[in-house]
Structure 1
Protein backbone atom coordinates (compact mmCIF):
# COMPACT_ATOMS: atom_id res chain seq x y z
CA UNK A 1 0.00 0.00 0.00
CA UNK A 2 2.82 2.38 0.85
CA UNK A 3 4.50 1.68 -2.50
CA UNK A 4 1.25 2.38 -4.31
CA UNK A 5 0.89 5.73 -2.51
CA UNK A 6 4.43 6.65 -3.54
CA UNK A 7 3.91 5.60 -7.17
CA UNK A 8 0.39 7.06 -7.37
CA UNK A 9 0.38 10.11 -5.08
CA UNK A 10 -2.87 11.41 -6.60
CA UNK A 11 -4.87 8.30 -5.72
CA UNK A 12 -8.27 9.42 -4.47
CA UNK A 13 -7.79 12.95 -5.83
CA UNK A 14 -9.77 14.62 -8.59
CA UNK A 15 -8.05 17.06 -10.92
CA UNK A 16 -9.75 19.50 -13.28
CA UNK A 17 -8.34 20.18 -16.74
CA UNK A 18 -9.15 23.43 -18.55
CA UNK A 19 -6.59 22.98 -21.33
CA UNK A 20 -7.40 22.50 -25.00
CA UNK A 21 -4.07 21.84 -26.78
CA UNK A 22 -2.45 20.24 -23.73
CA UNK A 23 -5.51 18.27 -22.60
CA UNK A 24 -4.34 14.92 -23.99
CA UNK A 25 -0.86 15.25 -22.51
CA UNK A 26 -2.07 16.26 -19.05
CA UNK A 27 -5.02 13.89 -19.21
CA UNK A 28 -2.66 10.95 -19.77
CA UNK A 29 -0.08 11.94 -17.15
CA UNK A 30 -2.44 12.53 -14.23
CA UNK A 31 -4.23 9.14 -14.19
CA UNK A 32 -0.85 7.40 -14.20
CA UNK A 33 -0.33 9.09 -10.84
CA UNK A 34 -3.71 7.91 -9.59
CA UNK A 35 -5.88 10.94 -10.28
CA UNK A 36 -9.42 11.04 -11.58
CA UNK A 37 -9.75 13.71 -14.26
CA UNK A 38 -12.59 16.11 -15.01
CA UNK A 39 -12.32 17.80 -18.41
CA UNK A 40 -13.71 21.24 -19.05
CA UNK A 41 -11.83 23.14 -21.75
CA UNK A 42 -12.05 26.84 -20.96
CA UNK A 43 -11.11 28.17 -24.40
CA UNK A 44 -10.84 27.29 -28.08
CA UNK A 45 -7.94 28.44 -30.26
CA UNK A 46 -8.71 29.30 -33.89
CA UNK A 47 -6.46 30.64 -36.68
CA UNK A 48 -6.72 34.31 -37.54
CA UNK A 49 -8.46 34.55 -40.96
CA UNK A 50 -5.85 34.35 -43.69
CA UNK A 51 -7.14 37.37 -45.58
CA UNK A 52 -7.34 39.82 -42.68
CA UNK A 53 -5.35 40.75 -39.63
CA UNK A 54 -2.45 38.36 -40.12
CA UNK A 55 -1.76 39.55 -43.68
CA UNK A 56 -1.78 43.17 -42.48
CA UNK A 57 0.66 42.29 -39.68
CA UNK A 58 2.94 40.49 -42.14
CA UNK A 59 2.96 43.46 -44.50
CA UNK A 60 3.91 45.71 -41.56
CA UNK A 61 6.87 43.43 -40.84
CA UNK A 62 7.89 43.61 -44.51
CA UNK A 63 7.56 47.40 -44.72
CA UNK A 64 11.06 48.07 -43.32
CA UNK A 65 14.01 46.09 -41.90
CA UNK A 66 13.27 44.30 -38.63
CA UNK A 67 15.92 44.20 -35.92
CA UNK A 68 14.55 41.39 -33.74
CA UNK A 69 11.83 38.76 -33.90
CA UNK A 70 10.42 36.99 -30.85
CA UNK A 71 9.13 33.52 -31.72
CA UNK A 72 6.79 32.42 -28.95
CA UNK A 73 5.52 29.06 -30.21
CA UNK A 74 6.52 26.59 -32.86
CA UNK A 75 2.95 26.08 -34.07
CA UNK A 76 2.39 29.83 -34.27
CA UNK A 77 5.57 30.48 -36.24
CA UNK A 78 4.76 27.71 -38.72
CA UNK A 79 1.22 29.06 -39.03
CA UNK A 80 2.60 32.51 -39.81
CA UNK A 81 4.79 31.16 -42.61
CA UNK A 82 1.92 29.06 -43.99
CA UNK A 83 -0.34 32.12 -44.12
CA UNK A 84 2.44 34.09 -45.83
CA UNK A 85 2.75 31.29 -48.39
CA UNK A 86 -0.98 31.53 -49.03
CA UNK A 87 -0.58 35.21 -49.92
CA UNK A 88 2.62 34.80 -51.92
CA UNK A 89 4.68 36.56 -49.24
CA UNK A 90 6.66 33.62 -47.85
CA UNK A 91 9.91 34.21 -49.74
CA UNK A 92 9.95 37.90 -48.83
CA UNK A 93 9.15 37.10 -45.19
CA UNK A 94 11.91 34.49 -44.86
CA UNK A 95 14.38 36.90 -46.46
CA UNK A 96 13.31 39.62 -44.03
CA UNK A 97 13.67 37.31 -41.04
CA UNK A 98 17.12 36.18 -42.22
CA UNK A 99 18.45 39.64 -41.50
CA UNK A 100 16.91 39.84 -38.02
CA UNK A 101 17.97 38.49 -34.64
CA UNK A 102 15.59 35.61 -33.86
CA UNK A 103 14.85 34.84 -30.22
CA UNK A 104 12.99 31.62 -29.37
CA UNK A 105 10.92 31.20 -26.23
CA UNK A 106 11.68 27.50 -26.10
CA UNK A 107 12.75 24.34 -27.88
CA UNK A 108 9.62 24.02 -30.02
CA UNK A 109 9.93 27.61 -31.22
CA UNK A 110 13.61 26.98 -31.99
CA UNK A 111 12.69 23.86 -33.96
CA UNK A 112 10.20 25.81 -36.08
CA UNK A 113 12.79 28.49 -36.81
CA UNK A 114 15.30 25.91 -37.96
CA UNK A 115 12.61 24.08 -39.93
CA UNK A 116 12.17 27.23 -41.98
CA UNK A 117 15.88 27.27 -42.81
CA UNK A 118 16.58 30.11 -40.38
CA UNK A 119 18.95 30.31 -37.42
CA UNK A 120 18.00 31.54 -33.97
CA UNK A 121 20.41 33.71 -32.01
CA UNK A 122 19.18 32.65 -28.58
CA UNK A 123 16.68 30.35 -26.87
CA UNK A 124 15.25 30.94 -23.41
CA UNK A 125 16.70 28.22 -21.13
CA UNK A 126 13.61 28.37 -18.89
CA UNK A 127 11.27 28.56 -21.92
CA UNK A 128 9.54 31.61 -20.46
CA UNK A 129 8.47 34.86 -22.10
CA UNK A 130 9.66 36.77 -19.04
CA UNK A 131 13.20 35.54 -19.66
CA UNK A 132 13.03 36.66 -23.31
CA UNK A 133 11.84 40.09 -22.19
CA UNK A 134 14.63 40.36 -19.63
CA UNK A 135 17.22 39.63 -22.31
CA UNK A 136 15.75 42.21 -24.67
CA UNK A 137 15.51 44.94 -22.03
CA UNK A 138 19.17 44.45 -21.15
CA UNK A 139 19.99 46.17 -24.47
CA UNK A 140 19.28 49.59 -25.94
CA UNK A 141 16.07 49.12 -27.91
CA UNK A 142 15.48 52.73 -28.92
CA UNK A 143 14.42 52.95 -32.56
CA UNK A 144 14.44 49.20 -33.11
CA UNK A 145 11.64 47.36 -34.90
CA UNK A 146 10.73 44.20 -32.98
CA UNK A 147 8.19 41.68 -34.27
CA UNK A 148 6.48 39.55 -31.63
CA UNK A 149 4.72 36.39 -32.84
CA UNK A 150 1.68 35.90 -30.62
CA UNK A 151 -0.23 32.71 -29.96
CA UNK A 152 -3.68 33.52 -28.60
CA UNK A 153 -2.45 35.46 -25.57
CA UNK A 154 -1.95 39.15 -26.55
CA UNK A 155 1.12 39.57 -24.28
CA UNK A 156 0.25 43.21 -23.64
CA UNK A 157 2.62 43.65 -20.70
CA UNK A 158 5.47 42.19 -22.78
CA UNK A 159 4.73 44.50 -25.71
CA UNK A 160 4.22 47.56 -23.49
CA UNK A 161 7.61 47.01 -21.84
CA UNK A 162 9.33 46.95 -25.23
CA UNK A 163 7.49 50.07 -26.36
CA UNK A 164 8.43 51.89 -23.15
CA UNK A 165 12.06 51.00 -23.89
CA UNK A 166 11.77 52.86 -27.20
CA UNK A 167 11.10 50.01 -29.62
CA UNK A 168 8.51 49.92 -32.38
CA UNK A 169 6.59 46.73 -31.60
CA UNK A 170 5.00 44.74 -34.42
CA UNK A 171 2.52 42.20 -33.00
CA UNK A 172 1.85 39.22 -35.27
CA UNK A 173 -1.23 37.40 -34.03
CA UNK A 174 -1.49 33.99 -35.66
CA UNK A 175 -4.31 32.64 -33.49
CA UNK A 176 -7.10 34.06 -31.38
CA UNK A 177 -9.17 32.42 -28.67
CA UNK A 178 -12.89 32.09 -28.16
CA UNK A 179 -15.25 30.33 -25.80
CA UNK A 180 -14.81 26.54 -25.85
CA UNK A 181 -16.83 24.53 -28.32
CA UNK A 182 -18.49 22.68 -25.42
CA UNK A 183 -19.56 25.26 -22.83
CA UNK A 184 -21.54 22.62 -20.94
CA UNK A 185 -18.32 20.81 -19.99
CA UNK A 186 -16.79 24.03 -18.66
CA UNK A 187 -19.98 24.84 -16.73
CA UNK A 188 -19.97 21.35 -15.23
CA UNK A 189 -16.33 21.75 -14.14
CA UNK A 190 -17.12 25.10 -12.51
CA UNK A 191 -19.99 23.46 -10.61
CA UNK A 192 -17.67 20.62 -9.51
CA UNK A 193 -15.14 23.14 -8.19
CA UNK A 194 -17.80 25.07 -6.29
CA UNK A 195 -19.16 21.83 -4.83
CA UNK A 196 -15.72 20.96 -3.44
CA UNK A 197 -15.22 17.92 -5.63
CA UNK A 198 -12.01 19.14 -7.34
CA UNK A 199 -8.70 18.91 -5.47
CA UNK A 200 -6.35 20.52 -7.98
CA UNK A 201 -6.51 22.67 -11.08
CA UNK A 202 -3.36 22.82 -13.27
CA UNK A 203 -3.53 25.72 -15.73
CA UNK A 204 -1.49 25.93 -18.94
CA UNK A 205 -2.65 29.16 -20.61
CA UNK A 206 -3.69 32.66 -19.61
CA UNK A 207 -6.78 32.71 -21.87
CA UNK A 208 -8.04 29.49 -20.27
CA UNK A 209 -7.45 30.88 -16.78
CA UNK A 210 -9.15 34.16 -17.67
CA UNK A 211 -12.14 32.52 -19.33
CA UNK A 212 -12.64 30.08 -16.45
CA UNK A 213 -13.07 33.05 -14.13
CA UNK A 214 -14.97 35.04 -16.75
CA UNK A 215 -17.46 32.28 -17.52
CA UNK A 216 -18.24 31.87 -13.82
CA UNK A 217 -18.75 35.63 -13.51
CA UNK A 218 -21.02 35.79 -16.57
CA UNK A 219 -23.19 32.99 -15.21
CA UNK A 220 -23.54 34.41 -11.70
CA UNK A 221 -21.09 32.02 -10.04
CA UNK A 222 -17.99 34.21 -9.90
CA UNK A 223 -17.92 34.79 -6.16
CA UNK A 224 -18.63 31.13 -5.42
CA UNK A 225 -15.85 29.97 -7.75
CA UNK A 226 -13.29 32.39 -6.33
CA UNK A 227 -14.21 31.29 -2.80
CA UNK A 228 -13.73 27.63 -3.69
CA UNK A 229 -10.40 28.33 -5.41
CA UNK A 230 -9.13 30.22 -2.36
CA UNK A 231 -10.01 27.55 0.15
CA UNK A 232 -10.22 24.07 -1.29
CA UNK A 233 -8.34 23.79 -4.60
CA UNK A 234 -4.62 23.62 -5.31
CA UNK A 235 -4.12 26.04 -8.20
CA UNK A 236 -0.98 25.39 -10.24
CA UNK A 237 0.04 27.64 -13.16
CA UNK A 238 2.65 26.54 -15.68
CA UNK A 239 4.32 29.98 -15.73
CA UNK A 240 3.93 33.68 -14.91
CA UNK A 241 1.97 34.55 -18.08
CA UNK A 242 -0.60 31.87 -17.29
CA UNK A 243 -0.67 33.01 -13.67
CA UNK A 244 -1.43 36.67 -14.50
CA UNK A 245 -5.28 36.37 -14.48
CA UNK A 246 -5.09 34.28 -11.31
CA UNK A 247 -2.86 36.83 -9.59
CA UNK A 248 -5.14 39.67 -10.74
CA UNK A 249 -8.05 37.87 -9.05
CA UNK A 250 -5.92 37.67 -5.86
CA UNK A 251 -6.10 33.88 -5.78
CA UNK A 252 -3.30 31.74 -4.31
CA UNK A 253 -1.30 29.64 -6.76
CA UNK A 254 1.97 27.77 -7.22
CA UNK A 255 4.31 27.45 -10.21
CA UNK A 256 6.89 24.78 -11.15
CA UNK A 257 10.57 25.65 -11.50
CA UNK A 258 10.33 25.16 -15.25
CA UNK A 259 7.45 26.26 -17.47
CA UNK A 260 6.80 22.79 -18.85
CA UNK A 261 3.73 20.57 -18.74
CA UNK A 262 5.67 17.70 -17.17
CA UNK A 263 6.95 19.95 -14.40
CA UNK A 264 3.40 21.19 -13.78
CA UNK A 265 2.10 17.64 -13.38
CA UNK A 266 4.96 16.82 -10.97
CA UNK A 267 4.17 19.92 -8.94
CA UNK A 268 0.58 18.75 -8.47
CA UNK A 269 1.69 15.21 -7.61
CA UNK A 270 4.29 16.44 -5.11
CA UNK A 271 1.73 18.64 -3.38
CA UNK A 272 -0.48 15.69 -2.51
CA UNK A 273 2.36 13.24 -1.91
CA UNK A 274 3.09 15.26 1.25
CA UNK A 275 -0.46 14.79 2.63
Structure 2
Protein backbone atom coordinates (compact mmCIF):
# COMPACT_ATOMS: atom_id res chain seq x y z
CA UNK A 1 0.00 0.00 0.00
CA UNK A 2 1.17 3.54 -0.77
CA UNK A 3 1.35 5.03 2.71
CA UNK A 4 1.00 8.57 1.39
CA UNK A 5 -1.86 7.79 -1.03
CA UNK A 6 -3.43 4.54 0.20
CA UNK A 7 -6.48 4.98 -2.04
CA UNK A 8 -4.61 5.45 -5.30
CA UNK A 9 -6.37 3.38 -7.97
CA UNK A 10 -9.76 3.58 -6.22
CA UNK A 11 -12.80 5.72 -6.96
CA UNK A 12 -15.11 7.01 -4.24
CA UNK A 13 -18.63 8.29 -4.86
CA UNK A 14 -19.52 11.27 -2.64
CA UNK A 15 -23.25 11.94 -2.47
CA UNK A 16 -23.32 14.52 0.34
CA UNK A 17 -25.06 17.85 -0.15
CA UNK A 18 -23.30 19.73 2.63
CA UNK A 19 -19.49 19.67 2.79
CA UNK A 20 -19.29 17.61 -0.42
CA UNK A 21 -16.15 19.36 -1.68
CA UNK A 22 -14.55 19.19 1.75
CA UNK A 23 -15.16 15.44 2.00
CA UNK A 24 -14.02 14.93 -1.59
CA UNK A 25 -10.78 16.81 -0.89
CA UNK A 26 -9.95 14.49 2.01
CA UNK A 27 -10.35 11.43 -0.19
CA UNK A 28 -8.33 13.03 -3.01
CA UNK A 29 -5.46 13.74 -0.61
CA UNK A 30 -5.39 10.00 0.03
CA UNK A 31 -5.07 9.28 -3.65
CA UNK A 32 -8.66 8.44 -4.60
CA UNK A 33 -10.53 9.59 -7.65
CA UNK A 34 -13.84 11.13 -6.58
CA UNK A 35 -17.20 11.18 -8.35
CA UNK A 36 -19.55 13.83 -6.98
CA UNK A 37 -23.32 13.38 -7.16
CA UNK A 38 -25.45 15.02 -4.48
CA UNK A 39 -28.25 12.70 -3.43
CA UNK A 40 -30.58 15.47 -2.24
CA UNK A 41 -31.15 19.16 -1.64
CA UNK A 42 -32.86 20.89 1.25
CA UNK A 43 -35.57 23.52 0.83
CA UNK A 44 -37.20 25.66 3.56
CA UNK A 45 -40.70 24.83 4.75
CA UNK A 46 -43.39 27.54 4.51
CA UNK A 47 -43.48 29.65 7.67
CA UNK A 48 -47.26 29.28 8.06
CA UNK A 49 -47.46 25.50 7.64
CA UNK A 50 -45.70 22.55 9.23
CA UNK A 51 -43.04 24.67 10.91
CA UNK A 52 -45.66 26.90 12.55
CA UNK A 53 -47.54 23.86 13.82
CA UNK A 54 -44.32 22.43 15.25
CA UNK A 55 -43.53 25.70 17.02
CA UNK A 56 -47.00 25.76 18.53
CA UNK A 57 -46.48 22.17 19.73
CA UNK A 58 -43.22 23.15 21.43
CA UNK A 59 -44.94 26.11 23.12
CA UNK A 60 -47.87 23.98 24.30
CA UNK A 61 -45.93 22.55 27.28
CA UNK A 62 -42.54 22.95 28.97
CA UNK A 63 -39.57 21.29 27.29
CA UNK A 64 -36.67 19.72 29.16
CA UNK A 65 -34.18 19.69 26.30
CA UNK A 66 -33.77 21.30 22.90
CA UNK A 67 -31.50 19.83 20.21
CA UNK A 68 -30.08 22.26 17.64
CA UNK A 69 -28.91 20.19 14.67
CA UNK A 70 -27.71 22.91 12.29
CA UNK A 71 -26.93 26.58 12.53
CA UNK A 72 -28.98 27.56 9.51
CA UNK A 73 -31.89 25.44 10.68
CA UNK A 74 -31.96 26.79 14.23
CA UNK A 75 -31.71 30.39 12.97
CA UNK A 76 -34.46 29.69 10.46
CA UNK A 77 -36.72 28.41 13.23
CA UNK A 78 -36.17 31.49 15.41
CA UNK A 79 -36.60 33.85 12.46
CA UNK A 80 -39.82 32.16 11.35
CA UNK A 81 -41.20 32.39 14.89
CA UNK A 82 -40.31 36.10 14.99
CA UNK A 83 -42.13 36.72 11.71
CA UNK A 84 -45.24 35.09 13.21
CA UNK A 85 -44.95 37.31 16.26
CA UNK A 86 -44.02 34.52 18.71
CA UNK A 87 -40.24 34.83 18.58
CA UNK A 88 -39.78 36.33 22.05
CA UNK A 89 -42.22 33.83 23.51
CA UNK A 90 -40.33 30.93 21.92
CA UNK A 91 -36.94 32.09 23.21
CA UNK A 92 -38.32 32.63 26.71
CA UNK A 93 -39.82 29.13 26.56
CA UNK A 94 -36.49 27.59 25.51
CA UNK A 95 -34.47 29.33 28.21
CA UNK A 96 -35.84 26.94 30.82
CA UNK A 97 -34.55 23.94 28.82
CA UNK A 98 -31.07 22.50 28.36
CA UNK A 99 -29.92 23.27 24.83
CA UNK A 100 -27.68 20.76 23.03
CA UNK A 101 -25.85 21.71 19.83
CA UNK A 102 -24.55 19.43 17.11
CA UNK A 103 -21.30 21.26 16.55
CA UNK A 104 -19.89 24.76 16.17
CA UNK A 105 -22.38 26.21 13.68
CA UNK A 106 -25.39 25.09 15.68
CA UNK A 107 -23.71 26.39 18.85
CA UNK A 108 -23.15 29.77 17.17
CA UNK A 109 -26.81 29.99 16.16
CA UNK A 110 -27.92 29.13 19.69
CA UNK A 111 -25.74 31.86 21.15
CA UNK A 112 -26.79 34.30 18.44
CA UNK A 113 -30.38 33.82 19.57
CA UNK A 114 -29.40 34.80 23.11
CA UNK A 115 -29.44 31.25 24.48
CA UNK A 116 -26.64 29.24 26.06
CA UNK A 117 -25.88 25.65 25.11
CA UNK A 118 -25.42 23.15 27.90
CA UNK A 119 -23.48 20.71 25.73
CA UNK A 120 -22.23 20.38 22.16
CA UNK A 121 -20.88 17.50 20.10
CA UNK A 122 -17.17 17.63 19.31
CA UNK A 123 -17.67 15.45 16.25
CA UNK A 124 -20.52 17.56 14.82
CA UNK A 125 -22.40 14.31 14.19
CA UNK A 126 -26.01 13.58 15.17
CA UNK A 127 -24.97 10.13 16.39
CA UNK A 128 -22.82 11.68 19.12
CA UNK A 129 -25.75 13.84 20.25
CA UNK A 130 -27.95 10.76 20.41
CA UNK A 131 -25.34 8.79 22.35
CA UNK A 132 -25.00 11.63 24.85
CA UNK A 133 -28.74 11.86 25.40
CA UNK A 134 -29.21 8.11 25.80
CA UNK A 135 -26.25 7.81 28.15
CA UNK A 136 -27.49 10.71 30.25
CA UNK A 137 -31.07 9.35 30.30
CA UNK A 138 -34.20 10.84 28.74
CA UNK A 139 -37.05 8.91 30.36
CA UNK A 140 -39.98 11.20 31.12
CA UNK A 141 -38.43 14.18 29.33
CA UNK A 142 -40.00 16.35 26.64
CA UNK A 143 -37.38 17.01 23.95
CA UNK A 144 -37.67 19.39 20.99
CA UNK A 145 -35.47 18.34 18.07
CA UNK A 146 -34.76 20.88 15.33
CA UNK A 147 -34.60 18.89 12.11
CA UNK A 148 -32.71 19.93 9.02
CA UNK A 149 -33.83 18.33 5.78
CA UNK A 150 -34.09 14.67 6.71
CA UNK A 151 -36.78 13.47 9.17
CA UNK A 152 -34.21 11.85 11.52
CA UNK A 153 -36.62 9.04 12.30
CA UNK A 154 -33.96 6.75 13.72
CA UNK A 155 -32.78 9.50 16.06
CA UNK A 156 -36.32 10.30 17.19
CA UNK A 157 -37.37 6.66 17.52
CA UNK A 158 -34.36 5.92 19.74
CA UNK A 159 -35.31 8.76 22.09
CA UNK A 160 -38.95 7.66 22.14
CA UNK A 161 -37.92 4.07 22.90
CA UNK A 162 -35.87 5.40 25.83
CA UNK A 163 -38.97 7.04 27.31
CA UNK A 164 -38.86 10.59 25.96
CA UNK A 165 -41.63 12.60 24.34
CA UNK A 166 -40.09 13.97 21.15
CA UNK A 167 -41.37 17.11 19.43
CA UNK A 168 -39.80 17.36 15.95
CA UNK A 169 -39.33 20.84 14.48
CA UNK A 170 -38.78 20.49 10.72
CA UNK A 171 -37.36 23.74 9.35
CA UNK A 172 -36.45 22.26 5.97
CA UNK A 173 -37.39 19.23 3.94
CA UNK A 174 -35.25 17.30 1.50
CA UNK A 175 -36.02 16.50 -2.09
CA UNK A 176 -34.20 15.36 -5.21
CA UNK A 177 -31.28 17.54 -6.33
CA UNK A 178 -32.10 20.05 -9.05
CA UNK A 179 -29.65 18.26 -11.38
CA UNK A 180 -30.05 14.48 -11.13
CA UNK A 181 -27.43 13.63 -13.76
CA UNK A 182 -24.42 13.54 -11.38
CA UNK A 183 -26.28 11.29 -8.92
CA UNK A 184 -27.39 8.99 -11.73
CA UNK A 185 -23.79 8.82 -12.95
CA UNK A 186 -22.56 7.78 -9.48
CA UNK A 187 -25.23 5.06 -9.27
CA UNK A 188 -24.36 3.81 -12.77
CA UNK A 189 -20.65 3.77 -11.89
CA UNK A 190 -21.31 1.79 -8.72
CA UNK A 191 -23.33 -0.75 -10.67
CA UNK A 192 -20.61 -0.99 -13.33
CA UNK A 193 -17.89 -1.46 -10.71
CA UNK A 194 -16.00 1.76 -11.47
CA UNK A 195 -16.98 3.30 -8.12
CA UNK A 196 -15.54 1.19 -5.32
CA UNK A 197 -16.93 2.92 -2.22
CA UNK A 198 -19.98 4.95 -1.27
CA UNK A 199 -19.46 6.82 2.03
CA UNK A 200 -22.54 8.44 3.59
CA UNK A 201 -22.90 11.18 6.18
CA UNK A 202 -26.72 11.38 6.38
CA UNK A 203 -29.62 8.97 6.44
CA UNK A 204 -31.44 11.04 3.84
CA UNK A 205 -28.62 10.57 1.33
CA UNK A 206 -28.56 6.84 2.03
CA UNK A 207 -32.32 6.61 1.54
CA UNK A 208 -32.42 8.67 -1.62
CA UNK A 209 -29.60 6.83 -3.35
CA UNK A 210 -31.62 3.65 -2.90
CA UNK A 211 -34.85 5.48 -3.75
CA UNK A 212 -33.47 7.03 -6.92
CA UNK A 213 -32.13 3.66 -8.06
CA UNK A 214 -35.56 2.12 -7.47
CA UNK A 215 -37.42 4.90 -9.27
CA UNK A 216 -35.22 4.49 -12.35
CA UNK A 217 -35.33 0.69 -12.50
CA UNK A 218 -31.78 0.17 -11.18
CA UNK A 219 -32.58 -0.77 -7.59
CA UNK A 220 -31.79 -4.46 -7.79
CA UNK A 221 -28.62 -3.84 -9.78
CA UNK A 222 -27.38 -1.39 -7.14
CA UNK A 223 -28.22 -3.77 -4.30
CA UNK A 224 -26.39 -6.59 -6.10
CA UNK A 225 -23.33 -4.37 -6.52
CA UNK A 226 -23.39 -3.50 -2.81
CA UNK A 227 -23.66 -7.17 -1.87
CA UNK A 228 -20.87 -8.22 -4.26
CA UNK A 229 -18.25 -5.48 -4.38
CA UNK A 230 -19.18 -1.86 -3.50
CA UNK A 231 -18.18 -0.78 0.00
CA UNK A 232 -20.95 1.18 1.73
CA UNK A 233 -19.62 3.08 4.74
CA UNK A 234 -21.87 5.17 6.99
CA UNK A 235 -20.77 7.70 9.58
CA UNK A 236 -23.09 6.27 12.24
CA UNK A 237 -26.01 3.90 12.85
CA UNK A 238 -28.65 6.54 12.01
CA UNK A 239 -27.04 7.11 8.62
CA UNK A 240 -26.77 3.35 8.13
CA UNK A 241 -30.44 2.64 8.90
CA UNK A 242 -31.71 2.57 5.26
CA UNK A 243 -29.06 -0.05 4.41
CA UNK A 244 -29.54 -2.00 7.64
CA UNK A 245 -33.32 -2.08 7.17
CA UNK A 246 -32.81 -3.96 3.90
CA UNK A 247 -30.13 -6.27 5.24
CA UNK A 248 -27.51 -4.80 2.91
CA UNK A 249 -23.83 -4.97 3.91
CA UNK A 250 -22.36 -1.75 5.28
CA UNK A 251 -19.71 -0.63 7.73
CA UNK A 252 -19.82 1.97 10.51
CA UNK A 253 -16.68 3.40 12.15
CA UNK A 254 -16.20 3.07 15.92
CA UNK A 255 -16.59 6.83 16.29
CA UNK A 256 -19.30 8.83 14.52
CA UNK A 257 -16.96 11.32 12.89
CA UNK A 258 -16.23 12.15 9.28
CA UNK A 259 -12.51 11.57 9.86
CA UNK A 260 -13.25 8.11 11.22
CA UNK A 261 -15.46 7.40 8.19
CA UNK A 262 -12.63 8.32 5.84
CA UNK A 263 -10.18 6.16 7.78
CA UNK A 264 -12.60 3.24 7.61
CA UNK A 265 -12.63 3.50 3.81
CA UNK A 266 -8.81 3.81 3.78
CA UNK A 267 -8.49 0.65 5.88
CA UNK A 268 -11.08 -1.45 4.08
CA UNK A 269 -10.75 -0.73 0.35
CA UNK A 270 -7.18 -2.01 -0.19
CA UNK A 271 -8.04 -5.20 1.72
CA UNK A 272 -11.18 -5.69 -0.34
CA UNK A 273 -9.46 -5.05 -3.70
CA UNK A 274 -5.86 -6.30 -3.23
CA UNK A 275 -5.20 -6.42 -6.99
CA UNK A 276 -6.82 -3.10 -7.84
CA UNK A 277 -3.49 -1.39 -8.58
Same fold by TM-score greater than 0.5: yes
Shift of the 267–183 alpha-carbon distance from structure 1 to 2, 3 Å rule, reads same
- 3-state SS of 1:122 partner: strand
Alpha-carbon distance in 1 for matches of 2:132, 2:23: 30
2:61 counterpart of 1:72 = no
- Say if 1:62 and 1:93, in contact at 8 Å, map to a contact too: yes
- Secondary structure of 1:6's match? coil
Q: Which moved more, 1:91-100 or 1:260-269?
A: 260-269
C-alpha contact 1:206 1:245 (8 A) present in aligned 2: yes
Deviation at 1:15, TM superposition (A): 0.9
- The answer for the alignment partner of 1:253 in structure 2 is 250
Q: For 2:117, what is the secondary structure of its paired residue?
A: coil
Q: What is the match of residue 47 of structure 2? A: 50
CA contact 2:154–2:238 (8 Å) conserved in 1: no
Give the 3 Å change call, closer, same or farther, for CA 65–178 of structure 1 in structure 2. same
Length-normalised TM-score, structure 2: 0.88
| Aligned equivalents of 1:244, 1:140: Cα separation in 2 | 22
Q: Deviations over 1:223-260 (max 9, x none)?
A: 11111111211211111111100111212222223322
* Alignment partners' CA distance in 2, 1:133 and 1:261: 16
Closer/same/farther in 2, CA of residues 191 and 135 from structure 1, 3 Å limit: closer
- TM-score, normalised to structure 1, is 0.88
1:149-228 equivalent positions in 2, closer than 5 A: 149-164=146-161, 166-228=163-225
The within-5 A match list for 1:1-275 is 5-124=2-121, 127-133=124-130, 135-137=132-134, 139=137, 141-142=139-140, 144-164=141-161, 166-272=163-269, 275=274
Partner SS state of residue 3, structure 2: helix
Contact kept in structure 1, 2:231 and 2:269, CA below 8 Å:
no
Deviation at 1:7, TM superposition (A): 1.1
- Give 1:165 deviation, angstroms: 5.1
Shift, 1:84, TM fit = 1.9
In structure 2, runs of 5+ residues without a counterpart are none
**Whole-Å separation in 2 of the counterparts to 1:34 and 1:140:** 44
Structure 2: how far apart are the matches of 1:67 and 1:213?
A: 36
Distance of 1:272 and 1:134 partners within structure 2:
28
Q: Write the deviation string for residues 45-89 of structure 1: whole angstroms up to 9, x where unpaired.
A: 111122211122112212332222122233321221222233232
Alpha-carbon distance in 2 for matches of 1:163, 1:34: 43
Preserved contact between residue 104 and residue 110 of structure 1 (Cα < 8 Å): yes
Counterpart CA distance in 1 for 2:45 and 2:177 is 16
- Structure 1 window deviating more from structure 2 (242-251 vs 105-114): it is 105-114
What is the rounded CA distance, in whole Å, between the counterparts of 2:149 and 2:260 in structure 1? 22
Q: Distance in 2 between matches of 1:154 and 1:228?
A: 27
- Please state how far the C-alpha of 1:25 moved relative to its aligned partner: 1.0
